[in-house]
Structure 1
Amino acid sequence: MEPYLQSGSSSVNTSLHRAKPLARIIKSQRSPNWPTQPTRDLPPKQVCDELFAIYLRTTETIYRVLHVPSFQRVYNDIWTANSEPNMAFIMMLKLVLAIGAMLYDDKVSMRADAVRWVFEAQTWLSSPVFKSKLGIQYLQISILLLLARELVDVGSELVWISAGTVYRTAVYIGLHKDPSQLPGMTTLETEMRRRIWNTILELSLQTSMESGGPPFISLDDFNTVPPSNLDDEQLLDADPIASADHAYTHTSIAIALRKVLPARLAVLMFLNNVNSNGTYEETLRIDSDLRASHKLLRRTLQAYTSRTDSCPSQFTLQAVEFIMQRYITCLHLPFFASALKNPVYAFSRKAVVDSSLKIWSMACPNSGGNSCPSSEVDLARMCRCTAGFFRMYTFHGATFLAAELRMRIQEDEDDLDAMPLSLHNIVDEAADWYLRCIQAGETGIKGYLLLRLIGACMDAERNHVERSEFPALLVEALENAAQVCIPVLEALAGCEEPSLGATGMEGNGMEGFDFQFSPEFTEDWDMLMSREFSVDTTGVFDAFVS
């Protein structure tokens, strides 16, 4: 492809020159000035109520942060009482609203508001005079800020670093020690300390997986037990009795995930610690432990869903399964490329494909049907509209399935009839899904370009096109993909003329931008060309291992 692109006869360079400043315009329009001074301004009550409800039925069910009755009481007072809550509560509320805003509608119409609220909370939390603030509420705000930064995409790539700070802050104020060792605590104080510590452990694992960095936690470094199986209202009682393990409460999911934390931590230490041996035998041993824990977790969730009085929501069940499937995928991913050609690693190939299929079916349940239904479920919207964990691994899962499909095409076309139906059109469906991500506010287009290139490559192989013709076909696919993305970015940027002209730069409000290749951009694109868009299957895989 490179000679075609450098010859100047292709429109790809023009499109890519244009996409970068368009992305900058979009991001600059969303981002307020730094520092952004915190204010007490809030949306109308009806909007706040809806955003708060979205947060409670999604993020809070997995990552317990709030004592909901106490938070709800102060929240209600904002609209009914004359007294104003302190700024710490306002920051907590704005972060809750920011998370809810990302799932408010399918176009994320409140994204700019969400970004501003995150900026305000970051400014408030960055105050140099914070020693007096260290406590449970400070940690709650810090955790909500981590979640909001990732989902809203405000420095989301650095959340692993910030998660380490939150972990050490929690240790500094003693959350790693079980509160039973600390005298004079109420039930509410005891259980909130356990809940917050539990959530910090969960986020430490999640950010380790996303960043590829060590989790920096050990099971020997704390003795805080999991939260008790109590509903939030019970924490206000003097001596509440915890429900049985099979009874579902507001804390049951957090407890269930804590039980499988050792198996998940073993996966991350095996993958991300520098002294890990990385052998296949160790992979299979860890896989056995992980699957045993996963089986126990599924039984626990099934027991909850069999009850008629109270049970977890569809989002909660799907999110837990999504998380567990991603651990399976991560564990076997180092051997997936080899498994495509070496039957010794066939188990890893099957594990990655099976887990990726499950992830894709949850993230895009309407693939092949209505592309953006009004009834889009919460998890599917989170995978499409937010940044971070859920969308990242939806995209990765689709690319692993694309690599599997391509290998099957190369191995034996007669075998295609035996494939799962969801695998047949995975590349087109994934590209359509990624385009909807862009329409919802994602500014990066390389994922869409990559998927269209993979699709073009597979079509050429199906039709037995000569290898010498591949570069021209791939460049044409790249041009077509860019022409699809650019108008979407122009619309997001508010350009008056969304169509590409001869120069692609007139009348679009971008005259002040330098469209020359920067060394950084050229290096980035050359690496993408040489690795991600390689015709070899392992090259496609390498793009998402690196």
Structure 2
Amino acid sequence: MAERLPDGRSRRPATSCLLCRKRKIRCNHETPCSNCLRAGNENCVYESHNRPAPVSRARLGRVQGAPVPGHQDFTAASTPSSQSSGLDAELLRLKLRIQDLEEQLSKLGPRPVNSALESPNSNIQTLNSTIGGTFHVHCEGSSLGQQQAIARSVTHKTRLFGQSHWAVNGLLLVRDVFESIDAHSRPETTKAWSGIERCKSLARSIKSQRTFSWLSSSTPDLPPKEISDALVDCYVRSTESIHRILHIPSFRRDYDAVWISNMAAADKGFMVQLWLVLAIGAVTYDERFSLRISATRWVCAARSWLSEPKSKSQLDIQTLQISLLFLVAQERLGMVEDSIWISVGALLRKAIYMGLHRDPAFLPPRTTFAVEMRRRLWNTILEMTLQSSLTSGGPPLISLDDFDTAPPGNFDDDQIMTEDPVPQPPDSFTQVSIAIAFRETFPQRLAVVKFLNDLASPVAYDKTLQLDAKLRAAYKALVRILLAYSRSTTAPAPSPFEIRMADFIIHRYLLSLHAPYFGAAFSETVYAFSRKVVVESSLKIWRAAYPVTVNNSPDVPEANELQRLITCSSGFYPAGAIHAAFLIAMDLRMQLKEDESLDPVPLRPDLLSVISEAKQWCLQVVEAGETSVKGYLLMSVIATQIEGLMHRLGEDEITARLIKAVEEVEEKCMPVLTAMASEFHIPENESSNAPQPMDMARENGTMEYFGCMPSDTLFDFANTEPMGWMFNDDPSMGTASFWRFFLSYWQASIIIRTKTVMYWDPER
């Protein structure tokens, strides 16, 4: 049947070969035809009857690159190009076919630029709340074909949190609570959110004053020697046992020399190390972090030294040690400007530039001391890279193929100072044994974090189970090693702090691995194993933060040190504790919602006790100096909802109690914040009138510490926007306050530039 053109005319299928059609000559329809035989064309090609739509002469001319003068047939004249072989004719046919396909595809509609990277199951859920702002949760469907979507990441303002960040798996679980409060709370009927805002306003003033209160002295004072000794001991027990940074005998030798000789004559690099050691030790010095202000001064002084222009490159071991100590102190004091993950990434690249990723066996010969210190520092950088990735939800950006540095040797610190020392047997406990044991689990933990946060990782539950099996095997090996050390009656053994710390860290990885499927497990039985792992790992993590004493007998001080670290610090440790308590509460809440029996559902007492403990712990965190009240707010509203479900109250009555719980947050937390503010003589109702940064700058002539501002890294999402102050994020900051702040910042930048010019050497 003849083919119809758009204008209604009919066209018969072409029966000539391509070369005869091109030359407009008669074809005898043979294979090969007579004309191809005469032209020596061995490849006589006929077009299939299932050809594409008819092609205009103008389009054919564009394909061949020839002009189209009006309606004249440009193929009528015989030219040398018309004598081309059958191969040219075949290429012409393919070009026409490709153009037809491209036109058909273009009619299907526009396609996204990166459509190849987009998952067909991806979707974004937007959450809005008064307390937290707007969050966009990116979800993907499960590889098992279940209905429940799995959260992959969260976008909040300019940040993107990966799957290991605790908020990614928590926001969808608790959204109904805050949506219910927002829907039923009105400014004219409740002071719920206004009370939270008053707490936030006072908290901002406290954080500012903690930083600027010490600027009257360029060099911070050391505490009395007995307190300094205790802080150094706290640092060694709480940090060096896991993260080997310093050579303890050398540090103590220089430390003793500071007190014997004139402190002004001490090496400035060592004094910076000492400030940071004291700051880190102050976190676990007591239950209330009573030395927080002094610790802030020491960290900011170290920051100033690190940012000073140097006469030469500072790519040496001492500066690397200071950088590591500075990052640890920043995180534990909550003084990270943006994300510790970003800073650790820069330090990782510095270490690679110094060659620490290459084992010293492949580098020029060095002493045993130098070799072991390089291995220890690289091992610590790997651990900090992994922990910061897990906490922030960012990809680790390192693989096992990127380094060949061996783990540290099993030496005590005194050994590596001797000539040709022999490492101790693997079953002998040394000052580096804990770090070596953790290094054995590094490949499995790295695989977990890469699976959770790398862009190309799929939502694959079978992969989750495989990683779980490998991580558990590594964990069992770690437990066997630590138990073997502990059974020794004569040799040194791990402290209670080190054993509990190992348990805490490994369960954080297990929890993060299974947390993405925790919410889906409520409706999909295929994820029941993940629900069980999340609950049990959360309970172990929580007991590290909030231990239960036996027969009311207090633990030894070393055992309490982990509890102090989790309660008084920021970052990795308290984030793990609040995440664990939150997930336990979510499991209890779901059990109550699923219950349809006449009798109340029996809840596990060990899990139920976590709810009241977590609420009390969050208040202790504020009493220890944390200015954000959002942790206490979160656990208060969840505890209130669980209590209402246990008493089988109606939805309206539960909502009323939730609003009351928000109002009580101010009643509990404001007195604690007011006591903190009183240290700086900040009236509770005049927090917005706190001294401006430029007032301090005029007295001291410098603003080099302007950026050293503690931040709420634990609970505060709303204040992670670095330019939020410009858009009047603070209700207490009026127009006049805004311009005062802007003018102060502008004047401070001039001072900074002036000071930089003083250090500038044009010959360098």
TM-score, reference length from structure 1: 0.88
Answering whether residue 219 of structure 2 is matched by residue 39 of structure 1, we say yes
Residue 206 (1) aligns with residue 387 (2): yes
Query: Is residue 593 of structure 2 the alignment partner of residue 410 of structure 1?
Result: yes
Cα pair distance change 1:37/1:189, threshold 3 Å: farther
Instruction: Give the whole-Å Cα distance in 2 for the aligned partners of 1:97 and 1:133.
Output: 23
Q: Is the 8 A contact 2:677 2:684 kept in 1?
A: no
| Among 499, 512, 516, the residue aligned to 1:334 | 516
Structure 1 position 427, deviation (Å)? 1.5
Kindly state the Cα deviation for residue 14 of structure 1 after the two structures are TM-superposed. Answer: 3.1
Residue 408 of structure 1 contacts residue 415 of structure 1 at CA under 8 Å; is this kept in 2? no
Kept in 2: contact 1:175–1:194 (CA 8 A): yes
- Could you tell me which runs of 5 or more consecutive residues in structure 2 were left unpaired when the two chains were aligned: 1-180, 691-724, 732-764
Question: How far off is 1:489 after superposition?
Answer: 1.1
Q: What SS class does the counterpart of residue 6 from structure 1 fall into?
A: coil
- CA pair 487-507 structure 1, distance change in 2 beyond 3 A: closer
Q: Which of 251, 263, 268 is matched with 2:444 structurally?
A: 263
Q: Partner residue of 2:568?
A: 385
Equivalence map 1:292-371=2 (5 Å): 292-308=473-489, 309-366=491-548
| Segment drifting more, 374-383 vs 348-357 | 374-383
What are the Cα deviations for residues 2-23 of structure 1, in whole angstroms up to 9, with x where unaligned? Answer: 2443242112233123111210
Residue 432 (structure 2) aligned to one of 245, 251, 256: 251
Partner AA of 2:687 in structure 1: M
Say which of 205, 219, 232 aligns to 2:400.
219
Q: In structure 2, what residue type is equivalent to 1:364?
A: Y
* 2:570 maps to amino acid: A
Contact between 1:208 and 1:268, CA under 8 Å: does it hold in 2?
A: yes
Q: Offset of 1:482 from its aligned partner? A: 2.3
The residue correspondences of 1:5-404 to structure 2 (distance < 5 A) are 5-32=185-212, 39=219, 41-82=221-262, 84-129=265-310, 131-155=312-336, 157-308=338-489, 309-366=491-548, 377-404=560-587
CA-to-aligned-CA distance 1:107-154 (integer Å, 9 cap, x gap)? 111101111111111111112327432111111000000100000111
The 3 A distance-change label for structure 1 pair 10 and 369 is farther
Could you tell me how far 1:471 is from its partner in structure 2?
2.2
* 8 Å Cα contact 2:674/2:684 also seen in 1: no
TM-score (norm. length: structure 2): 0.64
Task: Verify the 8 A CA contact 1:214 1:269 in the aligned structure 2.
Answer: yes
Q: CA 1:521–1:341 in 2, change beyond 3 Å: closer, same or farther?
A: farther
Structure 1 CA distance for aligned equivalents of residues 552 and 658 of structure 2: 28
Aligned counterpart for 1:462 among listed residues 638, 646, 657: 646
How far the C-alpha of 1:321 sits from its partner, in A, is 1.0
Pick the structure with more helix per residue.
Answer: 1
* 2:666 aligned with 1:482: yes
Matches of 1:102 and 1:246 in 2, distance apart?
Answer: 32
* 2:370 partner letter: E
Q: 1:480-519 residue pairs with structure 2 within 5 A? A: 480-494=664-678, 508-510=685-687, 512=689
Q: CA deviation at 1:180?
A: 1.5
CA shift at 1:32, angstroms? 2.9
Task: Report what 2:606 is aligned to.
Answer: 422
Residue ranges of structure 1 left out of the alignment (5+ in a row): 499-505, 523-546
Following the alignment from structure 1 to structure 2, what is the Cα–Cα distance between the partners of residues 85 and 183? 32
Give the C-alpha shift of residue 318 in structure 1: 0.9
Does structure 2 retain, via aligned residues, the 8 Å contact 1:398–1:427?
yes
Let me know the Cα RMSD of the aligned residues. Answer: 2.7
Preserved CA contact (<8 Å) 2:589 2:642: yes
- What's the offset of the Cα at 1:469? 2.7
Tell me the CA shift for residue 260 of structure 1: 0.5
**1:525 counterpart residue number:** none
Range 46-55 or range 368-377, more displaced: 368-377
Give secondary structure in 2 for the equivalent of 1:510: helix
Change (3 A) 1:132 1:21: same
User: Does structure 2 conserve the Cα–Cα contact (< 8 Å) formed by 1:191 and 1:228?
Assistant: yes
Question: How far did residue 307 of structure 1 move?
Answer: 1.3
Q: Distance in 2 between matches of 1:172 and 1:478?
A: 51
Deviation of 1:157 after TM superposition, in Å, equals 4.8
607, 613, 628: which one pairs with 1:444? 628
Counterparts in 2 of 1:507 and 1:258: CA distance versus 1, 3 Å:
closer
What is the CA-CA distance between 1:340 and the residue it aligns to? 2.1
AA of the residue aligned to 1:338: A
Say if 1:415 and 1:289 are closer, same or farther in 2 by CA, change over 3 A: farther
Change (3 A) 1:446 1:121: same
User: How many percent of aligned residue pairs carry the same amino acid?
Assistant: 43
Does structure 1 conserve the Cα–Cα contact (< 8 Å) formed by 2:592 and 2:601? yes
3-state SS of paired residue (1:133): coil
Identify if the C-alpha distance between structure 1 residues 418 and 40 changes in structure 2 by more than 3 Å, giving closer, same or farther: closer
What's the CA shift for 1:374?
A: 10
Distance 1:34 1:175, change over 3 A: farther
- Greater Cα shift, 146-155 or 422-431: 422-431
In structure 1, what is the Cα distance between the partners aligned to 2:637 and 2:223? 43
Mapped contact 2:276–2:329 kept (Cα < 8 A): yes
Partner of 2:712: none
Larger radius of gyration: 2
3-state DSSP of counterpart to 1:31? helix
Is this contact kept in 2: 1:234–1:240, CA < 8 A? yes
- Does the 8 Å CA contact 1:363/1:379 hold for their aligned counterparts? yes
Q: Distance in 1 between matches of 2:639 and 2:569?
A: 25
Q: How far does residue 81 in structure 1 lie from its aligned partner after superposition? A: 3.0
Residue number among 653, 656, 664 corresponding to 1:472 in the alignment: 656
Higher strand share: 2
Instruction: Verify the 8 A CA contact 1:177 1:222 in the aligned structure 2.
Output: yes
Distance 1:250 1:35 in 2: 38
Contact 1:63 1:199 in 2 (8 A): yes
The separation in 1 between residues aligned to 2:327 and 2:353, in whole angstroms, is: 19
Amino acid in the other structure paired with 2:308: S
1:453 is paired with a residue whose SS is helix
Counterpart amino acid of residue 575 in structure 2: M
Would the aligned equivalents of 1:194 and 1:227 in 2 still touch at CA under 8 Å?
A: yes
1:227 & 1:320 partners in 2: Cα distance?
Answer: 18
Q: Which amino acid is the alignment partner of residue 626 of structure 2?
A: E
